[in-house]
Amino acid sequence: MNHIITFANQKGGVGKSTLAILFANYLCWKKMNVCIIDTDLQQTIAQMRKSDLDFYACEAPYSVQGFPVSDVDTMRQLMENARKFHGCVLIDAPGNLSQDGLIPILSKTDFIVCPYRYDKATTASTSTFVKAILRMMREIQGMKPQLLFTPNNIYRKGNIEEKKVWKQFADTFEMVGTVLPTVPTRAVLERIDTIEITPSQRDVVQETFDYMIKIIRDSEL
């Protein structure tokens, strides 16, 4: 089966690229076919892979292709090729929704994974991003991705009032998608690479990623 999973949010610093790398490593550990297409302008994942291969001098466990967003026709061809891959294609998307080349990515993806944090700036920006996605889904025929929201890099439990506000955001996102289990802040997630996931890293992300895998597999039914 082929699944295209795009990690996207217009707010920087929410851990979009990190989450994509961790999920690719986790799928690889699960013996599932996976590849990454890095379309973000910063090319964070593509550069990390090059550095990892130079450092470890090993064979790449899965493919990482750097492909910055360009014109619509080129990106449409990229998505057609991605659809031929047997397994999960993870796309690290740029945050700028005004880029025309981003439309073929979002319109042809099966899942949009949207990491977010609970600070006011991030939740406001994420809400704006989600509204833009929903508008695109209304306007573009055949665009029907499942939206997966991931509270990511959460470093505190919050007080009573904060928890109330956080639940309101989660409830809002649940109206249009699925809110995944939280990925907490842990030092081990700051030391990642594109080669493998360590046991301590797996312990942190397992609940979230197993839930994601279940949703992906359920979509095949």
Report helix, strand or coil for 199.
helix
At residue 156, the pLDDT reads: 63
Residue closest to 162 by CA, chosen among 115, 117, 114: 117
Q: What is the tens place of the pLDDT at every residue in 133-169?
A: 999 999 999 999 999 999 987 666 667 777 787 788 8
At residue 206, the pLDDT reads: 97
Do 10 and 96 touch, CB atoms closer than 8 A? yes
Residue closest to 25 by CA, chosen among 166, 180, 189: 189
**What are the residue ranges in the chain where pLDDT is below 50?**
none
How many whole angstroms separate alpha carbon 171 and alpha carbon 154?
18
Class of domain 2-215: alpha beta
* Residue spans per domain, the chain: 2-215
At residue 158, the pLDDT reads: 67
